[in-house]
């Protein structure tokens, strides 16, 4: 073989190596470009995710603040309910105390009234129960000797009868109030 064949073989090998080098370089450039495009897409995706996370965080904080306000309102309502319950208990207790005192005063008035049988609570004259069971002297709505319809021993009564308040009720004196 001649030297010219060897030259052609070397030229072909060099051309093939140059083509391979160009292909490798083009492929590498393409891969780098694709990798850069992928990185840019990843950056944009990360930016969108961060923005969504901020929005979600803001929404969650708003919901948490609303929940805290609602819980505070519920706590306040519970405190108000407890305060009202205690107030109702005090009022009920005061009412029971007042009722007990009223009953005691009525019993005391019945024991002091000479026209009431202390054991039965009935009027000695008419048999009607209670110190103020009627309007008239006999407890039957009759008019008294002066023509008034007050209970015997009322505000017009003499000093022997039980003391009455300014409204004509038994067992209450204006100084007891």
Q: Both tokens of residue 149?
A: 């319809």
Going by pLDDT thresholds of 50, 70 and 90, the confidence category of residue 156 is very low
Look at residue 53 and tell me if it is in a domain.
no
Look at residue 128 and tell me if it is in a domain.
yes
Q: CA-based angle 73:76:80, to the nearest 5?
A: 135
- Asked if 137 contacts 149 with a C-beta cutoff of 8 angstroms, the reply is no
Classify burial at 68, counting beta carbons within 10 Å of its beta carbon; exposed 0-12, middle 13-18, buried 19 or more: exposed
H or E segment at 31?
helix 3-112
Look at residue 21 and tell me if it is in a domain.
no
Look at residue 5 and tell me if it is in a domain.
no
> DSSP code of 151?
P
CA 122 to each of CA 108, 118, 145, 168: distance values in angstroms, whole numbers, following the listed order: 14, 8, 22, 19
pLDDT digits (tens, 9 = 90+) for 111-153: 888 787 656 656 655 555 544 444 444 444 444 444 444 444 4
Domain assignment of residue 105, given as a range:
101-177
- At 120 the pLDDT is 61
Look at residue 121 and tell me if it is in a domain.
yes
Of 136 and 57, the one with more pLDDT: 57
Contacts of 115 by beta carbon, 8 Å cutoff, 6+ apart: 123, 124, 125, 152, 153
pLDDT digits (tens, 9 = 90+) for 6-28: 999 999 999 999 999 999 999 99
- Asked if 155 contacts 148 with a C-beta cutoff of 8 angstroms, the reply is no
How far is it, in rounded angstroms, from Cα 43 to Cα 40? 5
Q: What's the distance, CA 158 to chain centroid?
A: 59
With a threshold of 0.75, does the pTM exceed it? Answer: no
Look at residue 80 and tell me if it is in a domain.
no
Give the total number of structural domains in the chain.
Answer: 1
Look at residue 122 and tell me if it is in a domain.
yes
Look at residue 164 and tell me if it is in a domain.
yes
How far is it, in rounded angstroms, from Cα 13 to Cα 20? 10
């Amino acid at each position: 073989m001649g030297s010219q064949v060897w030259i052609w073989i070397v030229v072909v090998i060099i051309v093939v190596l140059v083509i391979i080098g160009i292909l490798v370089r083009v492929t590498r450039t393409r891969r780098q470009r694709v990798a850069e495009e992928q990185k840019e897409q990843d950056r944009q995706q990360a930016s969108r995710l961060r923005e969504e996370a901020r929005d979600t965080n803001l929404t969650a904080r708003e919901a948490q603040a609303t929940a805290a306000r609602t819980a505070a309102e519920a706590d306040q309502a519970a405190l108000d309910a407890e305060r009202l319950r205690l107030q109702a208990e005090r009022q009920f207790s005061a009412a029971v105390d007042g009722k007990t005192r009223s009953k005691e005063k009525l019993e005391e008035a019945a024991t002091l009234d000479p026209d009431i049988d202390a054991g039965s609570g009935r009027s000695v004259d008419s048999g009607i129960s209670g110190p103020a069971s009627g309007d008239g002297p006999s407890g039957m709505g009759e008019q008294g000797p002066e023509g008034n319809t007050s209970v015997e021993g009322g505000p017009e009564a003499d000093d022997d009868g039980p003391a009455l308040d300014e409204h004509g009720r038994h067992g209450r004196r204006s100084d007891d109030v």
